[in-house]
Structure 1
Amino acid sequence: MNHKKHDIASREDVQLLVHRFYDRIRNHEALGPFFNSTVQNWAEHLELLTNFWDSQLFLNRNYTGDPVKAHIHVDKVFGHTITMEHFGWWLEVWVATIDDLFDGERAWIAKNRARKMATMLFLKIYESRKTSS
């Protein structure tokens, strides 16, 4: 099937992206264990992340989580073993998923925001390790 890709244009597009991305993440050799043993309710998690990316890409204010706190908690649970390489793999899967599904300005924004987010989250994790030893 050869169809022209469109830009991320709606919440439904964001939902498709988030669901397809986490299908890949759950099966990723290095990243899957973090998510599969941490996320208790996948339907709830996917809805939360759809809200997050919907708010990032469409400036809706329907996200009420704290990604920094959540990532610091997961790092602590896993004995402070999350590395920048993990965020690199995460970003690689995110970009590949976007490229498979979409093309356009909002798709580019989603990739760029994820790059910035990966760096910021890892720095926050790293900083928290100094204070929680």
Structure 2
Amino acid sequence: MSDNSFARFDVSPADIDRVVSRFYTEVRRDAVLGPVFAAHVADWPEHESKIAAFWRNAILRENCYSGNPMRVHVSRPDVKAEHFPVWLNLFHETLKAELPDMQAHQWGALADRIGEGFRTGIVAMRQPKDAPPKLF
């Protein structure tokens, strides 16, 4: 598929675009995630393009994404730590529907690491400075 020898695993830019497009179609329909995204995404094609660039950067190492997704997520108080398991479940469903098992598993494992990083980052950055750490 991909001719990028530095890719983390074998998916193509077209695979990434297809997964991202289908995923955000499902996000817009989701009772939990849909309203959160609708409050912040005015231009869906632009958002999908930016997120596809994020994944091409993470998977294919294209160096085509610039941004700070942690800051974006933390700066939106309606984005909650408990949204990330919902997001990941929907993302895994999309990967399984769009990709062969091995690629879905590999991309899903990467998404799990990134999603857990966002979830724990949101918890840590939003907690009072003198409070004991939350471990869940």
Q: Scaled by the length of structure 2, what TM-score is found?
A: 0.81
Gaps of 5+ in 2: 1-8, 130-136
Equivalent position of 2:14 in the other structure: 12
Q: What one-letter code is carried by the residue in structure 1 that aligns with 2:70? A: V
- Larger RCO (CA within 8 A; separation ≥ 6): 1
Q: 2:107 aligns with which of 107, 110, 116?
A: 110
Tell me the number of residue pairs that the alignment of Structure 1 and Structure 2 aligns: 121
Equivalent position of 1:37 in the other structure: 39
Partner Cα separation in structure 1 for residue 61 and residue 103 of structure 2: 12
Partner Cα separation in structure 2 for residue 59 and residue 105 of structure 1: 19
Q: Which runs of 4+ in 1 moved over 6 A?
A: none
Quote how far apart the aligned CAs of 1:118 are. 1.3
Paired residues of 2:74 and 2:122 also in contact (CA < 8 A): yes
In the TM superposition, what are the counterparts of 1:14-93 in structure 2 within 5 Å? 14-74=16-76, 76=77, 78=78, 82-84=80-82, 86-93=83-90
Q: What one-letter code is carried by the residue in structure 2 that aligns with 1:90? A: W
- Larger proportion of helix: 1
Q: 1:104 to 1:58 in 2, by over 3 A?
A: farther
Q: 2:118 aligns with which of 115, 121, 124?
A: 121
Q: Scaled by the length of structure 1, what TM-score is found?
A: 0.83
Identity %: 25
Partner Cα separation in structure 2 for residue 118 and residue 97 of structure 1: 15
Q: Could you give the per-residue CA deviations for residues 81-127 of structure 1, whole angstroms, max 9, x where no partner exists? A: 6133x211111110110101111543322101111111110111111
